Amino acid sequence: MIAEAAIAFLDVLRAGTGEGVRKQNLSLTRTNLDLSRVRQSIGAANPAEVFRWESQVATERSQVINASALRNQAEIALNRILNRPLEERFRAVDQGIAANPLESDESTALRAQLDPYLNDQTSFSIFRDFMALEALRDSPELGQLDAFIAAQQRVLRGARRAFWAPTVGLSGQLSQVLGRGGAGDPSSSGVELPFTFPVPGNNSWSLGISASLPLVTGGFRISERQRALYELDRLNLERRATSERIEQRVRSAMHATRASFAALELTEQAALAAARNFELVQDGYSQGVADIIDLLDAQNAALVADLGAATAVYDYLIDLVSVERAVAKFNLFSSQQEARDFLRRLNDFYDQSTESKR
């Protein structure tokens, strides 16, 4: 549930950022429409260019509406997970598409912590080994299977002891007579006898112990032992398979996270280059040097690059949440002391691994 809520929240942020980029692109398209009208007024362009930009404005408005719908859908999904009214509006964060999310203090600190383990293949391999061990150690699935295995081992020990350990029983009885009288009671018959019968006491008790060991059970004990043994083997096999699945999830998610982490800087560089190219082409278009096709291509390239850069941070965070879900430990929501302990274990494991490979 934590991972689902975190991913839903990041989806809201990503959808909101995408909507902002679409709105900014619509504003640029309207600017280009005004430029085309100026070009037409001075005879540098024909009416077809104006119509083309008007068509582009309509297309961009449709894309903005679609982006807004995606954001609304993401908000509804998050409200459902948080058990809020589905249509209740909220403001997650202040969306600033012009700001660079990679320049935040959190991002800088995160890079400083992860760079040593993501820069080269050897360090990243050690990092994956560490995360896999963390997952196997803290996995609730394996903890449940370990409890089942321990219980089945006790069942198997009991089935084996049944061949030589007898069934022992202990029984006891205590009785007390509260009163005597009536017919048959010598003391109340009124007849004196030349001799007397022994009169039991008012209190009596008995204690017995028994032991039994059936010699012939028709193979029942053998079948019980075999069934317990087979069930224990099945649980051990299931535990090994579960361990492999957990380790696979962790390692696959780690590779995806490393790729999205590397994309943070690369998408930023692509967006800056595409923006500069668009500025140059737009300036050339306003001066009559570039044509409409060049400007459309430059604007589309800038749009794609801006969308990639604006959502790269959220893609990385979603991949990071997937890693923590696979590890069954959400360090994003841990205290500072827990985060320090995690980094200390990681550093110790890295030092031990590098020392053993020398």
pLDDT digits (tens, 9 = 90+) for 82-96: 788 888 877 765 444
| % of the chain exceeding 70 in pLDDT | 81
d(CA 82, CA 79): 5
The answer to whether 29 touches 57, Cβ cutoff 8 Å, is yes
297 exposure class (CB count in 10 Å sphere: 0-12, 13-18, 19+): middle
Q: In whole angstroms, what is the distance from residue 356 CA to residue 351 CA?
A: 9
Higher-pLDDT residue of 298 and 218 is 298
Asked whether residue 111 carries a pLDDT value surpassing 70, the answer given is: no
Mean pLDDT of 14-39: 86
User: Could you tell me what percent of the chain has a pLDDT over 90?
Assistant: 9
Q: What is the mean pLDDT of residues 239-268?
A: 87
DSSP label at residue 331: G
Give pLDDT, residue 236: 93
Could you tell me how far CA 187 lies from the centroid of its own chain?
86
Q: Name the burial class of residue 299, with classes exposed (0-12), middle (13-18) and buried (19+) by CB atoms within 10 angstroms of its CB.
A: buried
Average pLDDT for residues 274-279, to the nearest whole number? 89
Q: Please tell me which residue, 191 or 146, carries the higher pLDDT value.
A: 146
Specify the pLDDT at position 358: 65
Q: How many helices (H) and strands (E) does the chain have?
A: 8, 2
When pLDDT is averaged across residues 141-150 and rounded to a whole number, the result is: 91
Q: Where are the beta strands (DSSP E) in the chain?
A: 167-176, 203-212
Determine the average pLDDT of the residues in 326-351.
Answer: 73
pLDDT of 234 reads: 93
pLDDT of residue 188: 54
97 pLDDT above the threshold of 50: no
CA-based radius of gyration for the chain: 40
> What's residue 96's pLDDT?
42
**Residue 207 DSSP label:** E
Cβ atoms 145, 242 nearer than 8 A: yes
Instruction: Enter the tokens of residue 259.
Output: 């790729």
Q: Examine the pLDDT at 127 and tell me if it is beyond 50.
A: yes
H/E stretch holding 321: helix 292-327
pLDDT greater than 70 at residue 341 = yes
Q: Return the pLDDT at 102.
A: 43
49 pLDDT tier (thresholds 50, 70, 90): confident
Q: Render pLDDT for 222-246 as a digit per residue (tens, 0 to 9).
A: 788 888 899 999 999 999 999 999 8
pLDDT of res. 151: 93
Phi-psi category of residue 95: left, alpha or beta, with phi > 0 → left and psi -120 to 50 → alpha: beta
DSSP label at residue 198 = P
Across 212-218, average pLDDT: 66
CA 70 to chain centre: 23
The most confident of the ranges 162-171, 191-200, 254-263 is: 254-263
Tell whether the model's pLDDT for residue 354 goes beyond 70.
yes
Res 101: pLDDT: 43
For residue 255, pLDDT over 80 is answered with yes
In the chain, the amino acid numbered 82 is L
Crossing angle (nearest 10°) for helices 105-118 and 220-286: 120
Q: Is 42 helix (H, G, I), strand (E, B) or coil?
A: coil
The yes-or-no verdict on residue 296 having pLDDT over 70 is: yes
